[in-house]
């Protein structure tokens, strides 16, 4: 009798999966069905709490979940089938890995007895995804399933966030087992440090207070730590009076409208930000990782500064740039403690030195490095972004996603963000095709917000199929295409590095984006002249439907300022008027 009672409480693996997702607070799953995950899709059909968004290709599902995760701070959830379903997800998983986005990706797998048999739609998913996930699991027994489901969410969002894959053989999904809810038991091996060392924090405050030319360089860790970290960053910046610059990943972590903000730094960052990084005497790095797009030539990177590095991931410390004072911990906690110590010790940066530093920075600012040559007859891409920004300012909440390339950098330079979680872009991996599915994920999370994918005409085609998802769920995503007919950034590099030989960077056979939009039941608009731009943007914003606005921009515009690869922060180039041939050294040529 007891056995029968026990069996009665048992549910099948698919139901365990759904129950665990619900207990982990998952509201939406982005996915695509297939043979190996049919039991989960059956379980989804028989419940109403968990919403499933059907994408058009698994790669889109992962980027959509990334957009969802980065705009909400929650874990994004993906469901794909075995074999090609899982391999299509790989790019998105690596994208999430490099940009530290918390995801849980459930992959179907052939039944356990067929694993290793080259079965239909079999792939060694854990093998393939091992280097592009934070962790992955192959569930081999129904008893392990509830624990692994909960552990995956713990791993995805604790410490430095990242993607976690759970490979689910079909027989496990159909086997009966007991569900166990999440527990608060300490993980047996993975327990990242969140509180910073108090001695190191005191030393950091002392070092910063003695600076004459301080700079705060903040990265995506501030966003990942949560909105409180952004507030604390603002507080510390204002307490110290130091200038602050943000990485591509961190835009919005500090209000762009504030006077202490120098703009983005790095390869296409502002002159004032990069020069201040180069000339500073104390650098406080907050949740950033000295990426090669940030540092430029390493041996010339900020040569005279002492560097303090706050990071939750010890492997980020001293990876490429040796720092003087590392602080391991969550930036939110560490900033909070730093502010406490700063106040209690009544620390103050020498006013005279700081004033002198700011005067120097104002001189750099006066260069107005983001200016460009206006044109009355052709739409400059920078102008298009500026007008988009101006015309969306009245909107309550604006979320921007981008693809990858020149348009991405122009968006980062000319669109101003005052709040975190409003800017979704593929930074580390540089995944063309990220923006459209990411935008739909953002829109699913924020149905009433204005969500715009700033795109290039080449990138958008990489995941153009997601227009179908946008149409199916009536998501009012706006697609803002800067159409220059080239893979613009490739063409720019070919111009600067390869003697203007535009090898395969021009695409003929482009679709008519207006008709393409209409074929999906969406609205299509086009602007080809500066006089049409504002009206087209206004019409796009006024529509309740999803809109593609195709903007013909000047085809051979380059994105400046630029630190050529292999060059230092103080060796920026500003425009085509400077001699660009040979702007990049032989050493720089081999770099990407």
Positions annotated as catalytic residues are 58, 120-121, 170, 489
The CB-of-304 to another protein minimum distance in angstroms stands at 6
3-state helix, strand, coil in the chain (%, to 5): 45, 15, 40
Q: Is 116 in the site for another protein (CB under 8 A)?
A: no
Q: Using the rule CB under 8 A, give the single segment among 44-52, 319-327, 528-536, 560-568 that binds another protein.
A: 319-327
The CB-of-303 to another protein minimum distance in angstroms stands at 7
Binding residue (CB under 8 A) for another protein from 22, 117, 198, 318: 318
Q: Is 47 in the site for another protein (CB under 8 A)?
A: no
Q: Which of residues 143-182 bind another protein (CB under 8 A)?
A: 155, 159-160
Q: Is 14 helix (H, G, I), strand (E, B) or coil?
A: helix
Residue 124 phi/psi, 5-degree rounding, is -80, 75
> How big is the CA angle at 293 (ends 369 and 479), to the nearest 5 degrees?
75
Q: Is 298 in the site for another protein (CB under 8 A)?
A: no
Q: Is 325 in the site for another protein (CB under 8 A)?
A: yes
How many residues contact another protein, by CB under 8 A? 27
Is the Cβ of residue 190 or residue 506 nearer to another protein in the bound state? 190
Q: Return the HEC string of 143-210.
A: HHHHHHHHHHHHHHHCCCCCEEEEEEEHHHHHCEECCCCCCCCCCCCCCCCCCCCHHHHHHHHHHHHC
Is the Cβ of residue 127 or residue 447 nearer to another protein in the bound state? 127
Q: Is 526 in the site for another protein (CB under 8 A)?
A: no
Q: Using the rule CB under 8 A, give the single segment among 130-138, 382-390, 460-468, 482-490 that binds another protein.
A: 130-138
Q: Is 126 in the site for another protein (CB under 8 A)?
A: yes
Is the Cβ of residue 54 or residue 203 nearer to another protein in the bound state? 203
The CB-of-488 to another protein minimum distance in angstroms stands at 31
Q: Is 317 in the site for another protein (CB under 8 A)?
A: yes
The CB-of-313 to another protein minimum distance in angstroms stands at 7
Contact 218, 253 (CB under 8 A): yes
Q: Is 388 helix (H, G, I), strand (E, B) or coil?
A: helix
Q: Is 120 in the site for another protein (CB under 8 A)?
A: no
Over the window 73 to 112, marking each residue x when it contacts another protein by CB under 8 A and - when it does not, the resulting string is ----------------------------------------
Is the Cβ of residue 46 or residue 193 nearer to another protein in the bound state? 193
Q: Using the rule CB under 8 A, give the single segment among 256-264, 298-306, 490-498, 520-528 that binds another protein.
A: 298-306
- What gap in Å lies between CA 533 and CA 130, rounded to an integer? 46
Query: Would you list the DSSP string of 62-77?
Result: HHHHHHHHHHHSSPEE
Binding residue (CB under 8 A) for another protein from 141, 190, 198, 375: 190
Pairing of strands 28-31, 282-286: unpaired
Q: Is 197 in the site for another protein (CB under 8 A)?
A: no
Contacts of 49 (CB under 8 A, 6+ apart): 22
Q: Is 138 in the site for another protein (CB under 8 A)?
A: yes
Q: Return the HEC string of 230-284.
A: HHHHHHHHHHHCCCEEECHHHCCCCCCCCCCEEEECCCCCCHHHHHHHHHCCEEE
Instruction: Identify whether 239 is preceded by a cis peptide bond (ω within 30 of 0).
Output: no
Contacts of 568 (CB under 8 A, 6+ apart): 278, 296, 297, 300, 301
- What gap in Å lies between CA 179 and CA 184, rounded to an integer? 16
Q: Using the rule CB under 8 A, give the single segment among 84-92, 125-133, 422-430, 520-528 that binds another protein.
A: 125-133
Q: Is 127 in the site for another protein (CB under 8 A)?
A: yes
Binding residue (CB under 8 A) for another protein from 212, 306, 416, 526: 306
The CB-of-223 to another protein minimum distance in angstroms stands at 20
Q: Is 130 in the site for another protein (CB under 8 A)?
A: yes
The CB-of-312 to another protein minimum distance in angstroms stands at 10
Which of 412, 383, 418, 380 is closest to 398 using CA atoms? 418
Is the Cβ of residue 115 or residue 370 nearer to another protein in the bound state? 115
Q: Is 322 in the site for another protein (CB under 8 A)?
A: yes
* 575: enclosing H helix or E strand: none
Binding residue (CB under 8 A) for another protein from 116, 131, 447, 582: 131
Residue 286 phi/psi, 5-degree rounding, is -115, 100
Report DSSP state, residue 42. Answer: H
The residue behind tokens 């909960």 is: 150
* List of residues contacting another protein (CB under 8 A): 126-127, 130-131, 134-136, 138, 140, 155, 159-160, 188-190, 303-304, 306, 313-315, 317-319, 322, 324-325
């Amino acid at each position: 009798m007891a056995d029968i009672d026990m069996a009665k409480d048992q549910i099948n693996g698919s139901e365990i999966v759904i129950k665990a997702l619900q207990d982990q607070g998952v509201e939406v799953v982005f996915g695509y069905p297939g043979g190996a995950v049919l039991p989960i899709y059956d379980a989804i059909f028989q419940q109403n709490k968990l919403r499933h968004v059907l994408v058009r290709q698994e790669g889109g599902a992962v980027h959509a979940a990334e957009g969802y995760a980065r705009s909400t701070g929650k874990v994004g959830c993906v469901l794909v089938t075995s074999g090609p379903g899982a391999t299509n997800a790989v790019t998105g998983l690596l994208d999430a890995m490099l940009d530290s986005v918390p995801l849980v990706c459930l992959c179907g797998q052939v039944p356990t007895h067929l694993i290793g048999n080259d079965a239909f739609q079999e792939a060694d998913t854990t093998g393939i995804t091992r280097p592009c996930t934070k962790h992955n699991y192959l569930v081999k027994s129904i008893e392990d399933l509830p624990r692994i489901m909960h552990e995956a969410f713990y791993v995805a969002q604790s410490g430095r966030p990242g993607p976690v894959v759970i490979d689910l053989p079909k027989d496990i999904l159909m086997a009966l087992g007991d569900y166990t809810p999440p527990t608060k038991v300490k993980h047996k091996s993975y327990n990242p440090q969140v509180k910073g060392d108090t001695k190191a924090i005191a030393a950091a405050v002392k070092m910063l207070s003695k600076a004459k030319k301080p700079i705060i360089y903040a990265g995506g860790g501030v966003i990942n730590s949560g909105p409180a970290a952004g507030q604390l960053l603002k507080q510390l910046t204002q307490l110290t009076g130091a200038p602050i610059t943000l990485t591509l990943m961190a835009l919005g972590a500090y209000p762009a409208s504030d006077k202490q903000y120098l703009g983005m730094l790095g390869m296409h960052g502002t002159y004032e930000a990069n020069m201040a990084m180069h000339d500073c005497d104390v650098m406080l790095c907050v949740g950033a990782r000295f990426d090669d797009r940030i540092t430029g030539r390493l041996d010339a990177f900020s040569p005279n500064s002492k560097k303090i590095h706050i990071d939750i991931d010890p492997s980020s410390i001293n990876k490429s740039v040796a720092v003087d004072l590392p602080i391991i911990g969550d930036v939110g906690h560490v900033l909070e403690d730093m502010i406490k110590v700063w106040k209690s010790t009544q620390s103050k940066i020498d006013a005279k030195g700081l004033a002198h530093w700011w005067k120097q920075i104002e001189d750099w600012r006066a260069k107005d490095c983001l200016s460009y040559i206006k044109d009355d007859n052709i739409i400059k891409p920078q102008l298009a972004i500026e007008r988009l920004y101006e015309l969306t300012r009245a909107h309550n909440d604006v979320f921007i996603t981008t693809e990858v390339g020149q348009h991405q950098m122009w968006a980062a330079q000319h669109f101003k963000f005052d709040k975190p979680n409003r800017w979704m872009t593929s930074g580390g991996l540089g995944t063309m095709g990220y923006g459209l599915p990411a935008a739909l994920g953002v829109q699913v999370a924020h149905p009433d917000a204005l969500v715009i994918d700033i795109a290039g005409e080449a990138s958008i085609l990489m995941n153009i199929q997601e227009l179908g998802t946008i149409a199916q769920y009536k998501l009012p995503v706006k697609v803002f295409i800067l159409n220059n007919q080239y893979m613009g950034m490739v063409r720019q590099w070919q111009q600067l590095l390869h003697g203007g030989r535009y090898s395969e960077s021009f695409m003929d056979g482009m679709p008519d984006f207006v008709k393409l939009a209409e074929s999906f039941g969406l609205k299509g608009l086009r602007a080809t002249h500066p006089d049409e731009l504002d009206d087209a943007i206004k019409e796009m914003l006024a529509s309740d439907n999803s809109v593609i606005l195709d903007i013909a921009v000047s085809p051979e515009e380059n994105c400046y300022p630029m630190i050529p690869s292999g060059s230092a922060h103080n060796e920026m180039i500003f425009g085509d008027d400077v001699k660009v041939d040979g702007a990049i050294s032989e050493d720089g040529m081999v770099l990407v």
